[in-house]
Homo-oligomer: A and B are copies of this chain.
Amino acid sequence: MTVTLADVAARARVSPATVSRVLNGNYPVAAATRARVLKAVDELDYVLNGPASALAAATSDLVGILVDDIADPFFGIMASAIQSEIGGPGGRAGGERLAVVCNTGGSPERELTYLTLLQRQRAAAVVLTGGAVDDAEHRAAVAAKLRRLSEAGTRVVLCGRPPVPDTGAVTLAFDNRGGGRELTGHLIALGHRRLGYLAGPEERTTARHRLEGHRAALAAHGIEDDPCRTVHGRYDRQSGYEATLELLRRDPALTAVVAANDSVALGVCAALRDSGHHIPGDVSVAGFDDLPCSIDTVPALTTVRLPLARAGARAGRIAAGREEPPPGGIATLRGELMVRGSSGAPRG
């Protein structure tokens, strides 16, 4: 009842092999024959059977994109860029690739599960985005999976994620350390000496690297890094809100708060507003990522712009095999400091 390639062949009065060749366009076929086949395809409303095709050819057109949180524009922007570079023509059979995004929810287990699922589908490529969970066991498990995927012919690209050595994975990393250093450096230059820092989840590499940059900037200027001025939390607004109140409790004389990312910074702003502090008159605020939202806060947020779309597009092209990997398989992309109204000189 469901129409198969054989049906098309019968109607076009050719062999199944010829239909396959027309559909894949990877073999010379007489123009007249091709036309006849295409007509039959159209008339029968034939749709290629993906699994059968993938089984016989031992490859598929599936490309997986793993993200931590699809509801977060940070990942959405990257995923969108990746997908738009992959989803075009260029695949096998029918010329279209199925680029799909998988939401891990930040869970290491789900990350591994999705990798297995994609391995099971014999995916053509896999792109992993965002910071990794920096735990020895999980790192080893991911490395093993990536190695296995590479060996099976799946292209692996890490986008905005630190390299995983010896896996054949191409890496486009963000310079989170450098960005963090520059951001805190900017605040120090304005005259700030009592800076609160809201770090992201302790186990995430992005959070860790940004914090390292912050500390490097403090050290470079001989400012003591009082541990009670750093609070770890989640990468979300609410976490920023709560942590800010905690920070103010610990040191009411704070003149600046640096957040692990923009979502957290929005929470910081809200908490400061709600507790009667003026931004930047009383307290300066800075974020990281430069999400679209960040320009609409009042005052607009000082932050570090990450080239999310550019990185994603490049990762997509590499995954699609349309661009050469960077030399050594690793490239580091720098962020750009965006100075806006939320940062200013401290009072007094």
The answer to whether B103 touches A80, judged by C-beta atoms less than 8 angstroms apart, is yes
Measured in the bound complex, the distance between the Cα atoms of B298 and A69 in whole Å is 26
State which residues 23-78 of A face B: CB under 8 Å. Answer: 45, 47-55, 60-62, 64, 69-73, 76-77
What 1/0 mask marks residues of chain A from 74 to 104 whose CB sits below 8 Å from any chain B CB?
A: 0011011001100100000110101111110
Q: Of B54, B60, B98, B120, which is within 8 A of A47 by CB?
A: B120
Stretch from A7-15, A160-168, A289-297 at the B interface: A289-297
The answer to whether A101 touches B103, judged by C-beta atoms less than 8 angstroms apart, is yes
Besides A87-B110, A100-B100, 11 more A-B contacts (Cβ < 8 Å) are A49-B120, A71-B76, A80-B103, A80-B105, A83-B102, A84-B103, A98-B114, A101-B103, A269-B296, A270-B296, A296-B297
The answer to whether B73 touches A80, judged by C-beta atoms less than 8 angstroms apart, is no
Measured in the bound complex, the distance between the Cα atoms of B2 and A28 in whole Å is 31
| Copies of this chain assembled into the complex | 2
Given A72-B76, A76-B71, A101-B100, are A121 and B2 also a contact pair (CB < 8 Å)? no
The answer to whether A122 touches B51, judged by C-beta atoms less than 8 angstroms apart, is yes
What 1/0 mask marks residues of chain A from 284 to 312 whose CB sits below 8 Å from any chain B CB?
A: 00000000110111100000000000000
What 1/0 mask marks residues of chain A from 141 to 183 whose CB sits below 8 Å from any chain B CB?
A: 0000000100010000000000000000000000000000000
The answer to whether B70 touches A80, judged by C-beta atoms less than 8 angstroms apart, is yes
Instruction: Return A16 CB to nearest CB of chain B, in Å.
Output: 16
The answer to whether B60 touches A87, judged by C-beta atoms less than 8 angstroms apart, is no
> Contacts of A98 on B, CB cut-off 8 Å?
102, 114, 117-118, 121
> Contacts of A93 on B, CB cut-off 8 Å?
120
Q: Of B48, B55, B77, B270, which is within 8 A of A71 by CB?
A: B77
**At the interface, yes or no: A119 with Cβ under 8 Å from chain B?**
yes
Instruction: Return A281 CB to nearest CB of chain B, in Å.
Output: 15
The answer to whether B51 touches A237, judged by C-beta atoms less than 8 angstroms apart, is no
Instruction: Return A86 CB to nearest CB of chain B, in Å.
Output: 10
Measured in the bound complex, the distance between the Cα atoms of B273 and A298 in whole Å is 10
